[in-house]
Amino acid sequence: MSNSNTVGQVIRCRAAVAWEAGKPLVIEEVEVAPPQTNEVRLKILYTSLCHTDVYFWEAKGQNPLFPRIYGHEAGGIVESVGEGVTDLKAGDHVLPVFTGECKDCAHCKSEESNMCDLLRINTDRGVMLSDGKSRFSIKGKPIYHFVGTSTFSEYTVVHVGCLAKINPLAPLDKVCVLSCGISTGLGATLNVAKPKKGSTVAVFGLGAVGLAAAEGQRISGASRIIGVDLNSSRFEEAKKFGVTEFVNPKDHKKPVQEVIAELTNGGVDRSIECTGNVEAMISAFECVHDGWGVAVLVGVPHKEAVFKTHPVNFLNERTLKGTFFGNYKPRTDIPSVVEKYMNNELELEKFITHKVPFSEINKAFDYMLKGEGLRCIIHMEE
């Protein structure tokens, strides 16, 4: 892959640039500088659109930072490495991840945490850590990075700690979805909720992340998987992910946690909340069975959000947990999630509902804004 004539040189390539909030991306020729210390330059082969990209592109509640290259769910091949990079080389297959693993901080050294001090997600930073500069430019004018990945470009530069080196036989057009949303939902189940075989579980929110949580429950051998969503049109699709029954809170007068408790003889063994809605968080917690029930929060609420519940819900031996990126450490753990797919334990094809060429990337935004499908794969080679 390492084209010796590009190593150490600026690469000119296509990137989809967001010039301003909410305006369609424009395919531009950008210059991509060589990787600096602890950085890697990679060729992106496939990228996919995640709701987080859309959220920051709309820039309604965040610091707007433009022009910017979005994108963080992707698969690619290392083109060259900067100084100090020893565990990756040209030609390696990698998944870039919006959070990282430096392997040195207290979080990385802890078996329990994946929230690296150095590389955890920072949505406000538009530059590289080593020198505070961008590696992208157009005619000398810097274009900002997004969550350290910026995969809506044929080449990008990423900190080595944000790259999972994966099996080169794994099809990048499928496993690229593991670099964000699918791992988040899957890990919430497998690493945090940990349902036992035969468990009864509930999932709140049946988008890609919620369905990945359901997929984890299917893999775990749950006997009943109750899907909760305000959009009943999502129910048919969810059956492919192991969801066995459905509850739409709008169809009931009483709170949905009471509906679920009645359906399950006192509550579910595990619940996973994937909407970020405070009401859903309370419902997810209050619908688990006393004595052993565990609820896991995945969805990200708005900054001012608070919720309340009666402390007796905890005293009656219910547990409430939160998770970030499914508690996976990107470099250490994601390669084994790819192997689950390679061993046919985990199904990924059903998450991929659309495919578009890079020149039509704005179509992917349209699908997501209309709520159509789950994941749209954008292939860079036209």
Q: 10 Å Cβ neighbour count for 265?
A: 9
Structure tokens at 357: 């060429």
| pLDDT for position 3 | 59
- For the residues of 110-176, what is the DSSP string, one character each? SSS----TTTS--SS--S-TTTS--SEEETTEEEB-STTT--SBSEEEEEGGGEEE--TTS-HHHHG
Classify burial at 137, counting beta carbons within 10 Å of its beta carbon; exposed 0-12, middle 13-18, buried 19 or more.
Answer: middle
For the chain, what are the domain ranges?
A: 11-179+348-379, 182-324
How far apart CA 81 and CA 42 sit, in angstroms, is 9
Structure tokens at 318: 């219910």
* Domains 11-179+348-379 and 182-324 agree in fold: no
Class of domain 182-324: alpha beta
Distance between alpha carbon 145 and the CA centroid of its chain, in Å?
17
Residues 273, 283, 194, 225, CA torsion sign: negative
| pLDDT for position 60 | 80
The one-digit pLDDT tens for each residue of the chain (382 residues) are 455 689 999 999 999 999 999 999 999 999 999 999 999 999 999 999 998 999 999 988 677 899 999 999 999 999 999 999 999 999 999 999 999 999 999 999 999 999 999 999 999 999 999 999 999 999 999 999 999 999 999 999 999 999 999 999 999 999 999 999 999 999 999 999 999 999 999 999 999 999 999 999 999 999 999 999 999 999 999 999 999 999 999 999 999 999 999 999 999 999 999 999 999 999 999 999 999 999 999 999 988 999 999 999 999 999 999 999 999 999 999 999 999 999 999 999 999 999 999 999 999 999 999 989 999 999 998 7
Q: How far is CA 35 from CA 2, 6, 91, 134, 159, in A?
A: 13, 11, 15, 11, 9
Peptide bond into 67 cis (omega under 30): yes
Q: 10 Å Cβ neighbour count for 203?
A: 36
Classify burial at 212, counting beta carbons within 10 Å of its beta carbon; exposed 0-12, middle 13-18, buried 19 or more.
Answer: buried
Catalytic site positions:
50-52, 72-73, 102, 105, 108, 116, 120, 180, 375
Q: Does domain 11-179+348-379 match CATH 3.40.50.2000?
A: no
Classify burial at 37, counting beta carbons within 10 Å of its beta carbon; exposed 0-12, middle 13-18, buried 19 or more.
Answer: middle
Instruction: Tell me if 115 sits within 8 A of 324, measured CB to CB.
Output: yes
- For the residues of 183-252, what is the DSSP string, one character each? HHHHHIIIIII-PPTT-EEEEE--SHHHHHHHHHHHHHT-SEEEEE-S-GGGHHHHGGGT--EEE-GGG-
Tell me the pairing of strands 245-247 and 224-228: parallel
Tell me the pairing of strands 224-228 and 200-204: parallel
How far apart CA 300 and CA 205 sit, in angstroms, is 12
How far apart CA 143 and CA 278 sit, in angstroms, is 36
pLDDT tens per residue across span 237-249? 999 999 999 999 9
Instruction: Tell me if 273 sits within 8 A of 298, measured CB to CB.
Output: yes
Give per-residue burial for 283-305: e unless 16+ CB within 10 Å, then b: bbbbbbbeeebbbbbbbebeeee
Judged by DSSP in three states, 317 sits in coil
pLDDT tens per residue across span 80-116? 999 999 999 999 999 999 999 999 999 999 999 999 9
Q: 10 Å Cβ neighbour count for 329?
A: 22
| pLDDT for position 4 | 67
Q: Residue 156 pairs with which residues in a beta bridge?
A: 42
